[in-house]
Amino acid sequence: MEIADKVRRLLEGPPFGLTVFVARTTNNLYSLNEEVLTRLAYADYFLFVNFHRKVDGFPGSLYSHQELAMALALGHRQLLDFSERDAPNLGVIQFMVQNRPKFTTDEELLKIIKADVEREQWRPNYSRFLRPTMLRREKSIRFGDGAGNILDGTPISVVILNQSGDLKENVMISLDTLDGQEPDHLFRSPLKVSAQRRYDAAIPPESSAVFNILIDGRRTASGETTEGAFLTSALDLSPLPPLFSNQGIHEMEFRLDARAHRRIRFRICRRNGEYTLS
């Protein structure tokens, strides 16, 4: 595994700064699930090296070829593959376009990897998954939720970025916990897509969508006014209850779900009237 460690150090060092996991041989199902399959599913990039092994039978690593097949099945598109001279052109790799020169030494392999990673612009701030990037605190507005509630105050919204080349569908955000506790069922409804009467979004490739999380201000319903922070959710209830009404510190954890997409969680903290994303 010396060459694998050399590749890891190359990609973790400058100018790349990537976090690298090297898949090593495992002999039990738990390690396979936790140390290989889970990391493979959550990885943003995949690098495959097809080594030649001078052994009887298959002159390569069946284990590595299985990983390549799983990476393709999991939708990896940011993928680089390299082959050693005399390595077998069998299995999944025989159906892939291989236009890179074959290497014969460790130094040649490292040189090719460095050049290709630079060309493909692999970077640590890229993700093939949706991710929250920033909060928007907009000017005070008045919003009617259609259930009889009038909300006046400052809207807090989150920008969800899609850096991948795929359309992300049925994207929804909901509150998961408030101050470490599961919230009442009234606060579990999906949250509103900005400027739309929808609670799920389709985000095109290399684009973003904005979700309205809450309005910090006051709610008026049936002549009654209450101050606090109110989720802009699909809850069809009047009067709408505040998520919280005091000026203390609160931490909210939200859940992002989408079709054929792993679950993403992110936190928004309120401190001294200010909201921050973490």
CATH of the domain at 233: 2.60.40.10
If asked whether residues 267 and 137 sit together in one domain, one would say: yes
The CATH number of whichever domain residue 103 belongs to comes to 3.40.50
**Residue 73 within a domain:** yes
Ranges in the chain, pLDDT < 70: 1, 25-34, 55-63
Residue-wise pLDDT tens digits, 46-62: 999 888 877 666 555 66
If asked whether residues 271 and 141 sit together in one domain, one would say: yes
If asked whether residues 111 and 197 sit together in one domain, one would say: no
Is residue 110 exposed (0-12), middle (13-18) or buried (19+ Cβ within 10 Å)?
middle
Distance of CA 36 to the CA centre of its chain: 18
Domain residue limits at 16:
2-120
* Residues 174 and 184: beta-carbon distance below 8 Å: no
Average pLDDT, the chain: 90
Element at 49 (helix H, strand E): strand 46-50
Residue-wise pLDDT tens digits, 129-184: 999 999 999 888 998 988 999 999 999 999 999 999 999 999 999 999 999 999 99
Query: Which of 84, 99, 120 lies at the terminal end of a domain, its last residue?
Result: 120
Q: According to the model, what pLDDT value does residue 60 have?
A: 54
If asked whether residues 137 and 272 sit together in one domain, one would say: yes
Q: According to the model, what pLDDT value does residue 14 have?
A: 96
If asked whether residues 114 and 143 sit together in one domain, one would say: no
* Residues 264 and 131: beta-carbon distance below 8 Å: yes
- Spatial CA neighbour of 76 closest among 142, 126, 135: 126
Q: How many domains does one find in the chain?
A: 2
* Residues 211 and 194: beta-carbon distance below 8 Å: yes
Rg (CA), the chain: 24
- Spatial CA neighbour of 259 closest among 131, 170, 189, 172: 170
If asked whether residues 14 and 109 sit together in one domain, one would say: yes
